[in-house]
Structure 1
Amino acid sequence: MDPGFIGDGRTVAVAERSSLTFGVEEEFLLLDASSGVNLPVGDDVLARLTGQASEQSRHEFRQSMIEMVTPVCGDLQQMREHLAASRKAAGDAAAAIGAQLVAVGATPVAEAAVSRPAAERYERIIRQFGPVALDPALCGMHVHVGVPDRELAVQVCNHLRPWLPVVQALTVNSPFHAGADTGYASWRSIQMERWPSLGPSPYFASAAEYDDAVQQLITAGVMLDEGMVLWYARPSARYPTVEVRVADVLPTVDDAVVVAGLVRALVATVTDDIRAGLPAPRLRTSLLSAAHWRAARDGIEGQLVNPLTGVLSPAWELVDDLMSLVGPALTRDGDLQAVTAGIDRLRVEGSGAERQRRIHRAGGDLHDVLVYLAGATTGSVAR
Structure 2
Amino acid sequence: MTYRPVPAATLPDLSRLTLGVEEEYLLLHSGTGESLPVAGRVLDSLAQTARGQSRREFRHSMVEMVTPVSADLTELREQLIALREAAADAAEAAGARLVAVGATPVREPHRTVPDEPRYHAMSRRFGPVAHDPAVCGCHVHVGVPDRELAVQVCNNLRPWLPVVQAITANSPLHDGRDTGHASWRSMQLERWPSIGPTPYFDSLADYEATVADLINAGIMLDAAMVYWYARPSVAYPTVEVRVGDVCPTVDDTVLVAGMVRALVATAADDVRVGADTPRIRDCLVAAAHWRAAHDGLDGDLIDLRSGRARPAWELVDDLFATVAPALERHGDLPYVREQLNRVRRDGNGAARQRRILARTDGDVRAVLEHLAAETRPCPS
* TM-score, normalisation: structure 1: 0.95
Any idea what SS the aligned residue of 1:331 has? helix
CA distance in 1, matches of 2:281, 2:176: 36
Give a deviation string over 1:55-111, Cα, whole Å, max 9, x none: 100000001000000000000011000000000000000001210000000000000
Q: CA deviation at 1:51?
A: 2.5
Q: CA RMSD in A?
A: 1.2
SS at structure 1 position matched to 2:236: coil
Measure the CA separation in 2 of the matches of 1:86 and 1:169. Answer: 25
- Mapped pair 1:137 → 2:134: yes
Of 31-40 and 114-123, deviating more is 114-123
Q: Are the counterparts in 2 of residues 20 and 74 from structure 1 also a CA contact under 8 Å?
A: yes
1:135-156 deviation line (CA, Å, top 9, x unaligned):
0000000000000000000000
8 Å contact from structure 1 (residues 15, 146) kept in 2: no
Would you say 1:377 and 2:340 are equivalent positions? no
Q: Counterpart in 1 of 2:261? A: 264
8 Å contact 1:40–1:115 — kept in the other structure? Answer: no
Measure, in 2, the Cα distance between the counterparts of 1:305 and 1:89.
39
Which residue is equivalent to 1:345? 342
1:54 to 51, 56, 63: 51
Give the distance between the partners of 2:19 and 2:149, measured in 1 at CA. Answer: 16
Answer yes or no: is the 8 Å Cα contact 2:144–2:237 preserved in 1: yes
**Cα distance, 1:339 vs structure 2:** 0.4
CA contact (8 A) 1:375 1:381 kept: no
Identity of paired residues, percent?
A: 61
Q: Distance in 1 between matches of 2:302 and 2:208?
A: 30
Give distance in 2, aligned partners of 1:31 and 1:226: 32
Equivalent residues of 2:12, 2:146 under 8 A apart: no
Letter paired with 1:174: S
Q: How does 1:277-296 map to 2 (within 5 A)?
A: 277-296=274-293
Letter matched to residue 358 of structure 2: R
- Alignment check: 8 A CA contact 2:14 2:144 kept: no
Residue 380 of structure 1 and its aligned partner are, at CA, apart by: 5.3
TM-aligned CA deviation for residue 52 of structure 1: 1.8
Contact 2:197–2:229 (CA under 8 A) maintained in structure 1: yes
Contact 1:80-1:257 within 8 A present in 2 as well = yes
Q: Any stretches of 5+ residues in structure 2 without a counterpart?
A: 1-10
Residues 1:181 and 2:186 are matched in the alignment: no
Whether the aligned pair in 2 keeps the contact of 1:304 and 1:313 (CA below 8 Å) is: yes
Structure 1 unmatched runs, 5+: 1-13
The 1:210/1:353 distance shift into structure 2, 3 A limit, reads: same
Which of 364, 367, 371 is the matching residue for 2:365? 367
| Equivalent-residue separation in structure 2 for 1:52 and 1:299 (angstroms) | 36
Contact 1:34–1:367 under 8 Å retained in 2: yes
Q: Which residue of 2 aligns with 1:208?
A: 205
> Does residue 94 of structure 2 align to residue 92 of structure 1?
no
What are the Cα deviations for residues 219-253 of structure 1, in whole angstroms up to 9, with x where unaligned?
00000001110110000011110000000000000
Alpha carbons 2:81, 2:379 under 8 Å: kept: no
Deviations 1:337-370 (A, max 9, x none): 0001010100000010000000011002000000
Measured in 1, the distance between the counterparts of 2:273 and 2:326 equals 15
Tell me if structure 1 keeps the 8 A contact 2:24–2:137.
yes
SS at match of 2:69: coil
Q: Distance in 2 between matches of 1:131 and 1:323?
A: 40
Taking the aligned partners of 1:326 and 1:80, their CA distance within structure 2 comes to 20
C-alpha distance in 2 between matches for 1:201 and 1:22: 21
Question: Is the Cα contact below 8 Å between 1:15 and 1:21 reproduced in 2?
Answer: no
Rounded to whole Å, the distance in 2 between the matches of 1:298 and 1:304 is 7
In the alignment, what sits opposite 2:120?
Answer: 123
Given that residues 102 and 377 in structure 1 are in contact (C-alpha distance below 8 angstroms), is that contact kept between their aligned partners in structure 2? yes
What whole-Å deviation, never above 9, does each CA across 1:275-325 have from its counterpart, x for those lacking one? Answer: 011131110111111100000000011100111211100000000000000
Aligned match of 2:6: none
The CA deviation at 1:381 is 10
C-alpha displacement of 1:15: 6.5
Q: Number of residue pairs matched?
A: 369
Equivalent in the alignment of 2:325? 328
Q: Distance in 2 between matches of 1:344 and 1:260?
A: 16
